[in-house]
């Protein structure tokens, strides 16, 4: 079966976990009324399901074609992209003064989940374009903004991020691409960049490359990096397209997944130098990148949610159709649908529980980013910004880790058929794999959390967040809608998170090797506690609705999902806490000479 945008589940998470209604009620997004939100979700869902989902398979099998420096996307992709931009989807969350619709990033996040659920490879193009919009909006000169922003907001042109070089991946300080000042105020850019997503393609007539490079007098390391805008085609004063810039695609990679999106090697300056313009200040390019990092990482987290959701849908559909054996208590004709077998139900519930928890975490980041943009006063915006900063690595790493786990379970549910490419289950797994790597590997996310985010406001941000988790559980407990089987493991998980947080805070300042060693299990513990509470909030709302007479099997499943997560996943929190507090001792002497 093909992906269907899970509108009801998305809306439920937006309202009961991420507090979408409060954004409107607080007057931050007066245009985002409940009716508007529902109508947009409905329309986006239809577009994703009907127009984009069919791209997934053809993108995988046809991939992209590279010849004579040109990249051709799979059949139907250009038309779909045009229809998508014409629908105004690229501009959803952009400010009205830029031609956008000024709607919440939270709503955009929900839509992004749908585009990516339909096709991760497709969803990547707008992901990078929106990043470019953000960078230009915040840091670019008036001239650059006037020339490029309108086209990028509409999606008429796409954007790229050119960071990685062969010797500079996670460590951007090692990059070597060069920029030289020209007398006319532009810069001459030379160098080679690798792994450039949508670096070249035929979806649009122009491509706006954001390129990190060094000036001749740049300090070494990350403090000597500047950010440049380098268009594929130069733009004339009247806005028409001019001559070709000196930037070329030298090849595309053969990848494990997301075959529909070109991953390019880009060469700048083969014919003397590409023309670029500075964004922000010289040597401050990394700071420009960082301002857009939270949202870009959130977007990749949403790709994880999307892939997990898609894998879950396909596995559930298969499990309902495929019949084998007789499940306990099966009284129907012949063999049971395998969805009735306890071990298959376990896999499906695990897939669903992890997916919905990750969705809740990602949406909470989006909500915080909205409040950081539009909060009533500076203090509110700052608090929201810090909350977003804290939760971003948790959401990105957890959502993309579980995407891999869930997609692998999806293959498993299919049995032997899952290993056959035609079935399509394996594609979710192949496509999802990169999400744990790009936009900062999940190891980098854990280090970011441990070494930079925990210490925000001397630990007050994380302590506040843990207090909110505890408060949520207390509020839920008072309603008596959920059983101790849900609430007790979650309370223990929050306890475990609290004690390890204090341990990590102390370690980060006094024994960094310990904090670095424990960063990954600590992030997982954080996500398990916060994700479990998010599920409990959904479950409480569902149980409440049922108590008030709503008959909806989806509500029962929401309660079951939270129960499963609490008893089967959050139950591991105390073990994780013990692991965290081993610190560097857990890692022994290293791999010195031994094999």
Catalytic residue (choose from 134, 340, 439, 540): 439
Of the pair 86, 582, the CB lying nearest a second copy is at 582
- Binders of a second copy in range 564-593 (CB under 8 A): 564, 567-568, 571-576, 578-579, 582, 584-593
Q: What is the 3-state secondary structure (H, E, C) of 108-129?
A: HHHHHHHHHHHCHHHHHHHHHH
- Answer for which of 54, 95, 169, 459 binds a second copy (CB under 8 A) is 169
Of the pair 9, 370, the CB lying nearest a second copy is at 9
Contacts 24+ apart (CB under 8 A), 511-514: 511/583, 511/584, 512/451, 513/583, 513/584, 514/583, 514/584
Instruction: Say how far apart CA 292 and CA 289 lie, in whole Å.
Output: 6
Instruction: Say how far apart CA 226 and CA 414 lie, in whole Å.
Output: 49
* Cβ neighbours of 364 (radius 10 Å): 26
Min. distance of Cβ 253 from a second copy in angstroms?
5
Of the pair 69, 325, the CB lying nearest a second copy is at 325
Beta bridge mates, 223: none
Min. distance of Cβ 163 from a second copy in angstroms?
11
Min. distance of Cβ 312 from a second copy in angstroms?
10
Instruction: Copy the structure tokens of residue 236.
Output: 């004339």
Instruction: Copy the structure tokens of residue 510.
Output: 């006094």
Of the pair 141, 441, the CB lying nearest a second copy is at 441
- Answer for which of 516, 529, 533, 534 binds a second copy (CB under 8 A) is 516
- Answer for which of 340, 367, 370, 540 binds a second copy (CB under 8 A) is 340
Min. distance of Cβ 238 from a second copy in angstroms?
39
189 within 8 A of 179, measured Cβ to Cβ: yes
314 binds a second copy (CB under 8 A): no
Min. distance of Cβ 377 from a second copy in angstroms?
38
Mapping DSSP to helix (H, G, I), strand (E, B) and coil, where does residue 279 land? strand
- Binders of a second copy in range 229-288 (CB under 8 A): 253-257
- Binders of a second copy in range 372-411 (CB under 8 A): 404, 408, 411
507 binds a second copy (CB under 8 A): no
Min. distance of Cβ 484 from a second copy in angstroms?
12
332 binds a second copy (CB under 8 A): no
Of the pair 216, 416, the CB lying nearest a second copy is at 416
* Cβ neighbours of 543 (radius 10 Å): 22
Of the pair 324, 471, the CB lying nearest a second copy is at 324
- Interacting span for a second copy (CB under 8 A) from 268-276, 299-307, 387-395, 561-569: 561-569
371 binds a second copy (CB under 8 A): no
- Binders of a second copy in range 482-501 (CB under 8 A): 485, 489
41 within 8 A of 11, measured Cβ to Cβ: yes
The single-letter DSSP state of residue 260 is T
Could you tell me which of 320, 336, 316 has the C-alpha nearest to residue 328? 336
Q: Is 439 a known active-site residue?
A: yes
59 within 8 A of 121, measured Cβ to Cβ: yes
Which residues have C-beta within 8 Å of that of residue 52, sequence separation ≥ 6?
Answer: 80, 84, 114, 115, 118, 119, 122
Of the pair 38, 343, the CB lying nearest a second copy is at 343
Could you tell me which of 224, 264, 257, 239 has the C-alpha nearest to residue 69? 264
Min. distance of Cβ 436 from a second copy in angstroms?
6
- Binders of a second copy in range 409-468 (CB under 8 A): 411-412, 415-416, 418-422, 426, 429-430, 433-434, 436-438, 441-443, 446-447
Beta bridge mates, 225: 284
Beta bridge mates, 197: 263
339 binds a second copy (CB under 8 A): yes
Beta-strand pair 207-213/158-162: parallel
Binding-site size for a second copy (CB under 8 A) equals 105
Instruction: Copy the structure tokens of residue 159.
Output: 């954007």
Known catalytic residues are 439
């Amino acid at each position: 079966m093909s992906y269907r945008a899970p509108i009801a589940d998305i809306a439920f998470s937006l309202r009961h976990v991420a507090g979408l209604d409060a954004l409107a009620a607080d007057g931050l997004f007066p245009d985002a009324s409940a009716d508007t939100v529902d109508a947009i979700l409905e329309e986006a869902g239809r577009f994703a399901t009907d127009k984009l989902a069919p791209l997934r398979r053809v993108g995988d099998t046809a991939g992209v074609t590279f010849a004579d420096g040109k990249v051709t996307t799979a059949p139907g992709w250009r038309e779909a992209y045009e229809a998508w931009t014409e629908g105004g989807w690229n501009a959803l969350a952009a400010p009205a003064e830029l031609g956008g619709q000024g709607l919440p990033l939270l709503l955009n996040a929900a839509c992004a989940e749908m585009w990516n659920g339909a096709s991760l490879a497709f969803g990547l193009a707008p992901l990078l374009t929106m990043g470019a919009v953000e960078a230009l909006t915040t840091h670019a000169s008036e001239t650059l903004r006037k020339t490029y922003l309108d086209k990028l907001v509409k999606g008429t042109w796409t954007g790229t991020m050119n960071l990685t070089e062969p010797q500079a991946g996670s460590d951007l300080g090692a990059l070597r691409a060069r920029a030289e000042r020209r007398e006319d105020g532009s810069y001459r850019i030379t160098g080679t960049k690798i792994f450039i997503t949508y670096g070249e393609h035929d979806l649009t007539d122009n491509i706006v490359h954001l390129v990190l490079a060094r000036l001749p007098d740049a300090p070494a390391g990350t403090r000597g990096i500047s950010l440049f805008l380098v268009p594929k085609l130069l733009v004339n004063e009247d806005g028409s397209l001019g001559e070709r810039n000196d930037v070329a695609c030298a090849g595309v990679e053969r990848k494990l997944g997301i075959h529909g999106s070109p991953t390019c090697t880009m060469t700048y300056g083969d014919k003397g130098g590409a023309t670029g313009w500075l964004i922000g200040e010289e040597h401050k390019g990394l700071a420009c990148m960082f301002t857009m990092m939270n949202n870009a990482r959130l977007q990749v987290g949403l790709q994880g949610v999307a892939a997990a959701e898609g894998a879950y849908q396909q596995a559930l559909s298969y499990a309902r159709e495929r019949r084998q054996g007789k499940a306990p208590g099966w009284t129907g004709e012949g063999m049971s649908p395998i969805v009735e077998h306890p071990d298959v139900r376990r896999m499906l519930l695990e897939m669903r529980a992890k997916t919905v928890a990750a969705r809740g975490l990602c949406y909470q980041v989006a909500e915080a980013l909205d409040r950081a943009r539009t909060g009533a006063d500076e203090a509110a915006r700052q608090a929201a910004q810090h909350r977003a900063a804290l939760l971003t690595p948790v959401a990105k790493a957890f959502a993309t880790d579980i995407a891999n786990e869930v997609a692998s379970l999806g293959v498993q549910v299919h049995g032997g058929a899952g290993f056959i490419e035609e079935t399509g289950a394996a594609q979710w797994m192949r496509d999802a794999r990169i999400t744990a790597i790009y936009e900062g590997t999940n190891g980098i996310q854990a280090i970011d959390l441990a070494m930079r985010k925990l210490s925000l406001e001397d630990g007050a941000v994380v302590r506040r967040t843990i207090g909110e988790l505890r408060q949520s559980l207390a509020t839920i407990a008072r309603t008596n809608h959920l059983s101790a089987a849900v609430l007790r493991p979650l309370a223990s998980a929050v306890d475990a998170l609290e004690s390890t947080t204090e341990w990590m805070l102390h370690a980060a300042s006094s024994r960094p090797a310990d904090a670095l060693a424990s960063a990954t299990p600590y992030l997982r513990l954080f996500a398990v506690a916060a994700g479990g509470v998010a599920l409990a909030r959904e479950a409480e709302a569902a149980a409440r609705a049922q108590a008030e007479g709503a008959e909806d099997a989806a509500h029962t499943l929401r309660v079951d999902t939270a129960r499963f997560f609490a008893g089967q996943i959050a139950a591991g929190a105390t073990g994780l806490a013990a692991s965290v507090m081993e610190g560097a001792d857990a890692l022994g002497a290293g791999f010195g000479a031994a094999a």
